[in-house]
A and B are shown apart, each in its own frame.
Chain A
Amino acid sequence: MRVLPYGARAAMVDFDDPSEVLGLHASLEQDPPDGVVELVPAARTLLVRFDPGRTHHDRLAGAILDRSTVDVSPREAAEIVVPVRYDGPDLAEVAAAAGMSAEAVVRRHEDGVYVSAFCGFAPGFAYLTGLDPALHLPRRSSPRTRVPAGSVAIAGEYTAVYPHSSPGGWRLIGRTTLPVWDVEREPPNLLTPGTRIRFTS
């Protein structure tokens, strides 16, 4: 891993192996170095925001590079089971592109054990890793202007549940009535980074 400068108040830890992101996140969350104010995981990186009055880049980088990314497991999060009705408008197209039947797509998606890697794009939009490589397909060439809330979708190496209705370019394979995002709930996001997820029809 490398620690890159990110302005005067943050450092970005860049990993070759994306599976290390959650390991370092867990380690820094459970025992934060001095001055750390926020950790933001993403696909191959962990942003570490710090208080420049309490630490500086080089000192923080030293503390980070001393950490193991494998010794601390992400905090025990309950496994979330997401009930899905696999009737998405892109299911047939996904099946054709993956060279298998729609039933096989559903079976492979259901068989996966997923981990929420990071959130982005919109509040509560969690990128879930663990998708069967046979289902790794690019986004739609033309994004939809409106994807309904609860849509279960795939794109690249990720699967996700759209937390709100929004524009979107992912391929829609199903939908769930489980509210993955609710600002009145604590925590508002069911699929926080590190959470394990299964889909079931």
Chain B
Amino acid sequence: MTWLEFPTYILLTSVFWLLALVLLLTPKRSVFHSLKGVFLFLGWASIIVFTIGLWISLERPPFRTLAETRLWYAVFISTIGIVLYYRWRLPLMLAYTLLMAILFLFLNYLNPDTFDKTLMPALQSPWFIPHVIVYIIGYAFLGFSSLIGVYGLYLYYKGKEVDRTLLMADNIVYIGFAFLTFGLLFGALWAKEAWGHYWTWDPKETWAFLTWLSYLLYIHFRIRKKQSPKTALWIIALAFVVLLICWFGINYLPSAQSSVHVYSS
């Protein structure tokens, strides 16, 4: 399986998931409503099949290029959305995660990568896969929590109660933050083996650390119970901007002309 077959699979995935979202709107007890699970699964399965196929055909884990990380982001965020939906019945979050996943797949359709089968020697390490996987899981959770933050801001400015929203964001930040910490520390341990030092203030490292600090700020801001919810919501929304710079914006920063981590495209 290669990127050439990609359009077929994203078409399948998008159609299945959009159908599932439409069925979600039907009355709770109707047959249609219960059918949505089937479509959720079919959409998920088709993207998983593609990902595994790509992995096999590339003969290396597909974690190298920006398009490949976007593919994984789509896989993880939709998985998280579906699991959270069945665990806590969060239809809005399901819709958000599926639409985000579709958006990312669509971005890949517009900007597919060239075939790059090679992996530079320093990246051929047992650390590589765990490092990238924990990062992507971290990003998926943190991005998700920030979206909850944005939703909270919306509620806040409409004069609604945001306590519950913030508590939900808290829990998701904790999980995402822990994964991000793992990503940073695995990165450090690996860098020591590959390059001789665990931390070099490479732009990608710097921005990942900044992302980490932003959410650290949020966690500590939320410790006191009587903090302004507005500030908390703004912190978590802005932290997302830092996360996005770390992920996509780095290539455009003046400080990042020599990063070893900038994704090739």
Check if A and B associate: no
Q: Which residues of B approach A to under 8 Å, CB–CB?
A: none
